[in-house]
Chain A
Amino acid sequence: DSGVTQTPKHLITATGQRVTLRCSPRSGDLSVYWYQQSLDQGLQFLIQYYNGEERAKGNILERFSAQQFPDLHSELNLSSLELGDSALYFCASSAGPQGGELFFGEGSRLTVL
């Protein structure tokens, strides 16, 4: 158990819809990272937050947004969903802003029909 909690574990929705994925980092970790894992693209970095502030951005679509709250949990919002958004979405956390060893949650499996 990495200590990172993600909900929901599975989510099935329709194209055009919006979903929110939630992540609670390990106790004491200030950085949260979101990654997308799909069969054709592998693991792709989306975005990082550190202590509530956006720290680094990867290949995150404009339809996607994230935030980190004062209690350090994070949410990833995916809107106007397309079939190609079907993937595993992982959250990871680390103590500081500079990553190093990341602790990954078990992921949220999103299926868009």
Chain B
Amino acid sequence: GESVGLHLPTLSVQEGDNSIINCAYSNSASDYFIWYKQESGKGPQFIIDIRSNMDKRQGQRVTVLLNKTVKHLSLQIAATQPGDSAVYFCAETGVMTTDSWGKLQFGAGTQVVVTP
């Protein structure tokens, strides 16, 4: 597969454990945040999103937490599986306008490695 970055922070997790991936965002006025997963050789894949008027949102095995006070976003993955090995990106839209939803500002990414 193809590498998406040479100097990404790496999180090593044992299979079955919970993972927490952190992200600091820059724009305090951002309205909308998304987590994407990118497997080697593939495009980013949507995981979960959250609006700025929420502080927590749950999906299937994933939870996103938003702390606007410190401009921090986290993604929790429950019972991490080998298929969760990928690069995870947080993204923000800035202040939402009719033009901004797809204009995502991506973070640098975190490489998650799941070990058996």
**CB proximity to A under 8 Å, residues B73-116:** 89, 91, 93, 98-109
Q: How far is the CA of A31 from the CA of B109 in the complex (A)?
A: 25
Interface of B is mostly: loop
Q: 1/0 per residue B9-51: CB within 8 Å of A?
A: 0000000000000000000000000100000011111100100
Residue total for B at the interface (Cβ-Cβ under 8 A)? 28
CB of B89 within 8 A of CB of A43, answer: yes
Given known A-B contacts A31-B102, A48-B102, A56-B103, A106 and B41 have beta carbons under 8 A apart: yes
CB of B43 within 8 A of CB of A56, answer: no
Residue total for A at the interface (Cβ-Cβ under 8 A)? 30
Quote the shortest CB–CB distance from A19 to chain B (angstroms): 18
CB of A42 within 8 A of CB of B109, answer: yes
**Chain A hits for B99, CB < 8 A:** 48, 55-56, 97
The residue that A92 contacts in the complex, of B4, B5, B43, B98, with Cβ under 8 A, is B43
Given known A-B contacts A39-B5, A42-B109, A43-B89, A33 and B45 have beta carbons under 8 A apart: no
Q: List 22 A-B contacts (CB under 8 A).
A: A2-B43, A2-B45, A39-B4, A42-B5, A42-B107, A42-B108, A43-B89, A43-B106, A56-B100, A88-B4, A92-B43, A92-B44, A94-B102, A97-B99, A99-B93, A101-B34, A102-B44, A102-B102, A104-B45, A106-B41, A106-B43, A107-B42
